[in-house]
């Protein structure tokens, strides 16, 4: 029997993060049952103003902020920070991406204040470059970090030059690493009874994407080159044209190469000594590509790639976003969540007994401010005063 309360039921998270990495992390926590209290500044998470927009508001914001309580507090004011401390009394996790030193200036530093007052607290700080070092404390943004960590240098083709990865892959990956860090710390806390500070930076996370490029350079001195849609170490593992559009063929080993040549009725290629091993195929990649391209020119990308995939040979037509979101397998995997006008990507982590679920929709700024304050022990009169004094907000700027 499934437990619909979620694997993380009972975990309380105070989320001060904004934009993408932190909110993506806390949405996953919320999907799996954690109580997430998102506290935004008076003007809200800046992504609320980022398009595209639906009648419900920013699709960017709503796509990563479900399953949360939505409150708005001015933490630059002493009484706002006092409210935060009250909320931390029963919290397991505090996550934020303020600039280095901000919470310290507010008298809420981890080492100086929070670790002593809340010894079980798991404190997760997401930064651009970490707290210290030559770049420590500087602001980090996904595309800039892609540039500064070398990710752009290996993305694109020799003709295109360095190219930004089209998704916010550094932010998303950093959010996933923050999630892992929180769960690691929660597991360790079961043994020690203590929380700890988690230092998760976009810079470090982006560097981990440089495999195998970094490993190749560190161990052999080989300088990575841009290879477009080709794999630097495997062939044929690249894009081909077909009659109906581009497709990608991913042949990962010698056995698959023999199989694909048999499937495509071009066994002379697998018998060619130039292509006998993967290392030789990489060496003669251009010749192999041209010969395979002749075979694939008049094929139907979708039909052929489906047959290849069902035969155990990795291949796919190169699809666009609308096609992927409407694909039968996307629907079968429940990777689209819908509730009224709300539509967003679903929950990728599938647990058999304690599955994630859509429990609450993203809400306008400050919608849950009163409930959050009441949960912290404030009376309605106190809340009224704090709203009037612009410490707590029930709507943007008010």
Residue with tokens 């500044």: 41
* Separation CA 168–CA 183 (nearest Å): 23
Cβ contacts of residue 283 below 8 Å, gap of 6+?
274
* Separation CA 172–CA 200 (nearest Å): 12
Tokens representing residue 19 in the block: 């934009």
Cβ contacts of residue 383 below 8 Å, gap of 6+?
369, 370, 373, 374, 392
Residue 124: which H helix or E strand, with range?
A: strand 122-127
Tokens representing residue 356 in the block: 């994630």
8-state DSSP, 249:
E
Question: Catalytic residue positions?
Answer: 231
Number of neighbouring beta carbons within 10 Å of residue 351? 13
Cβ contacts of residue 33 below 8 Å, gap of 6+?
5, 6, 7, 8, 9, 10, 11, 354, 356, 359
State the sign of the Cα–Cα–Cα–Cα dihedral 30, 34, 37, 38.
Answer: negative
State the sign of the Cα–Cα–Cα–Cα dihedral 159, 163, 166, 172.
Answer: positive
Residue with tokens 């559009």: 245
- Asked if residues 44 and 364 have their Cβ atoms less than 8 Å apart, the reply is no
* Separation CA 260–CA 274 (nearest Å): 16
* Separation CA 200–CA 174 (nearest Å): 7
Q: Which 3 state secondary structure label does DSSP give 29?
A: helix
CA 332-8-173 angle, 5° bins:
65
* Separation CA 128–CA 204 (nearest Å): 9
* Separation CA 100–CA 136 (nearest Å): 8
């Amino acid at each position: 029997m499934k437990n619909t309360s979620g694997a993380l039921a009972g975990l309380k998270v105070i989320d001060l993060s904004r934009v993408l990495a932190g909110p993506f992390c806390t949405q996953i926590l919320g999907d799996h049952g954690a109580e997430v209290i998102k506290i935004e500044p008076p003007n809200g998470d800046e992504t609320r103003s980022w398009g595209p927009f639906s009648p419900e508001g920013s699709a960017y914001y709503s796509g990563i902020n479900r399953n949360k309580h939505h409150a708005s507090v001015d933490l630059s004011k002493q009484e706002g920070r006092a409210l935060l401390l009250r909320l931390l009394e029963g919290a397991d996790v505090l996550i934020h991406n303020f600039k280095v030193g901000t919470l310290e200036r507010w008298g809420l530093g981890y080492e100086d204040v929070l670790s002593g007052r809340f010894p079980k607290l798991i404190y997760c700080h997401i930064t651009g470059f970490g707290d210290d070092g030559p770049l420590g404390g500087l602001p980090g943004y996904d595309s800039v970090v892609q540039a500064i960590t070398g990710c752009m240098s290996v993305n694109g083709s020799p003709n295109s030059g360095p190219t930004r990865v089209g998704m916010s892959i550094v932010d998303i990956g950093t959010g996933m690493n923050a999630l892992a860090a929180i769960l690691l710390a929660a597991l360790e806390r079961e043994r020690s009874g203590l929380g700890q500070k988690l230092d998760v930076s976009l810079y470090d996370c982006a560097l981990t994407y440089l495999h195998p490029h970094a490993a190749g350079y560190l161990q052999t001195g080989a300088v990575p080159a841009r290879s477009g849609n080709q794999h630097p170490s495997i062939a044929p593992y690249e894009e081909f044209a077909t009659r109906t559009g581009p497709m990608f063929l991913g042949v990962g080993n010698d056995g698959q190469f023999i199989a694909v040549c048999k499937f495509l009725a071009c066994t002379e290629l697998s018998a060619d000594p130039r292509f006998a091993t993967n290392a030789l195929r990489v060496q003669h990649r251009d010749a192999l590509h041209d010969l395979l391209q002749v075979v694939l020119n008049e094929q139907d990308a979708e039909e052929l790639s489906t047959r290849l995939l069902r035969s155990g040979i990795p291949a796919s037509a190169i699809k666009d976003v609308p096609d992927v979101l409407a694909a039968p397998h996307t629907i079968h995997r429940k990777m689209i969540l819908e509730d009224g006008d709300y539509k967003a990507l679903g929950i990728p982590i599938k647990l058999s007994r304690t599955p994630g679920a859509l429990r609450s929709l993203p809400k306008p700024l400050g919608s849950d401010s009163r409930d959050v304050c009441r949960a912290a022990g404030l009376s309605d009169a106190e809340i009224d005063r704090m709203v009037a004094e612009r410490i707590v907000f029930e709507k943007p700027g008010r």
